[in-house]
Amino acid sequence: MGSGASKRPNTTRKVQAVSAFQAIPKSPKEKDKILNDEITDTQIKLDDVNHDNEKSTDNRRSITINETSNAWNALKQGIILNANSLPKTTLTLDDFTKVIRRKASEIKNDDLEIPYESKEKVESEELCHICAVYTGSETYPCRICPRVYHESCLRKIGHCSSPESSNLLQKAHEPIGWSCYKCDNLSSVLAEEEMFQLMEDFDIYDIDKDSTISLDEFLKYKNEQYQKRFGCEMPFEDEETERRRFKIMDKNKTETLDWWEFLNYESTHILTTRSKNALVRLLTEREIDEARRTFRVFDRDGNGEISEHEAKHAFTSWYSQFLHETPGSLKILDTDDVDDNSEFAVHVKENTKLIMAADTDKNGRVSWNEYLKDQALYIIASRPNSCSNAPEDDNLTTKNRTISNDAKIV
């Protein structure tokens, strides 16, 4: 379907296409093959697929693992079972990439209160989420969910196949963390209707049907939309804004947008239409726990609220670290004397204003739940391992974890 086409794909084609996108690794070459292949006319009901049937897995990537539960129980009793006698389980790529989507009508928007104090510590799973076997090999925890993975298992299902993805995996044991393939894909939180709409949008942008969107195609579509809305050519300033947006979307700097780049970026913008209560419901326990730690940096007296004075104190302490150059560090704020008109004071004032904007009941204080609802979109947008896909905001760095957990606030 080109920009001037009116024919819309039927629902069956959409369901099959969604399954195709979800069932492949994030490789442009493999993605292009799926996109260019003709979708068969045979309607396949996914719920009827039998994953234990060898015929159903012949054409899909799969792995076979030993079921070790009985072996571990026997070992506790001093009995060692023969490895060849252990039952085997065949897992296909679909077992790990299939996403169960809600319909838009099923999204809940009612108020949700998350307790500020939590005695439960968020722990990672003990065994690899894929093989569920203790092998002694190093596991890599996801920073979003409790799952952990073996690198070898990730490779078997089509992930970590490039040096770039392997380097990202190594960050799992660093403060920045790593998102697993389930959490890295923002489209997993979209409803069916939203996903179908994005597929149609991509098809409209992609005029030459090469499975990527070039800058010319991107700007042509934006210009057409502007003309339809305002009846004139898009101004130069607006076109420059769209060029910058394209660069932000182009994570791998290829000067084209593939499906995954388009999908993650546009998914975030769809989420901006959701209510804050709906967004909070999408947060994982680990994300909520991380938000608590950040909130406590501001909440000096521990009463579950941030006053304007506490916010100013936190940002003053944070930005003070950048007032003077130290060996091996970058001088960020070029000022010696701090006054009300200094660059330092402007940063503190503006960022304090952003935090206090979450005060929806206008009582002069930001409660824990007000803070969490205000931050939910930005927390979700920072899930992908690549640079943030959060909506454009002049003060986005403040919204998205400005104060780190390691900040020394005194």
Q: Is the pLDDT of residue 394 over 70?
A: no
Percent of the chain with pLDDT over 90: 46
pLDDT for res 81? 62
- What number is the average pLDDT over the span 304-321? 90
264, containing H or E segment: helix 259-271
- Residue 215 is part of a domain; what is its CATH number? 1.10.238.10
Summarised one tens digit per residue, pLDDT across range 201-259 is: 999 999 999 999 999 999 999 999 999 999 999 999 999 999 999 999 998 889 999 99
Among 208, 241, 271, residue at a domain's last position: 271
pLDDT for res 319? 80
- Residue in 126, 127, 49 with CA at minimum distance from that of residue 90: 49
List the domain range (segments joined by +) for residue 371.
287-399
| Average pLDDT value over all residues in the chain | 76
314-348 per-residue burial string, b: 16 or more CB within 10 A, e: under 16: bbbbbbeebbeeeeeeeeebeeeebeeebebeebb
Residues 196 and 228 in one domain: yes
Q: Is the pLDDT of residue 270 over 80?
A: yes
**Predicted confidence band at 41 (pLDDT cuts at 50, 70, 90)?**
very low
Residues 214 and 297 in one domain: no
* Confidence (pTM): 0.68
pLDDT for res 53? 38
- What number is the average pLDDT over the span 7-21? 46
Q: Is the pLDDT of residue 350 over 60?
A: yes
10-37 per-residue burial string, b: 16 or more CB within 10 A, e: under 16: eeebbbbbbbebbbbbbbbeebeebbee
Q: What are phi and psi of 88, to 5 degrees?
A: -115, 150
Among 271, 301, 328, residue at a domain's last position: 271
Least-confidence region, from 261-265, 305-309, 389-393:
389-393
- 184 part of a folded domain: no
Residues 265 and 291 in one domain: no
pLDDT for res 40? 36
Q: What are phi and psi of 58, to 5 degrees?
A: -60, -40
pLDDT for res 45? 35
What the block records as the tokens of 240 is: 């420059």
Per mean pLDDT, which of 161-165, 175-179, 260-264, 399-403 is the most reliable? 175-179
CA angle 59, 62, 65 (to 5 degrees): 150
- 382 part of a folded domain: yes
Q: How many CB atoms lie within 10 A of CB 373?
A: 20
CA angle 76, 81, 82 (to 5 degrees): 155
- 305 part of a folded domain: yes
Structural domain count, the chain: 2
Return the higher-pLDDT residue of 92 and 346: 346
Residues 245 and 301 in one domain: no
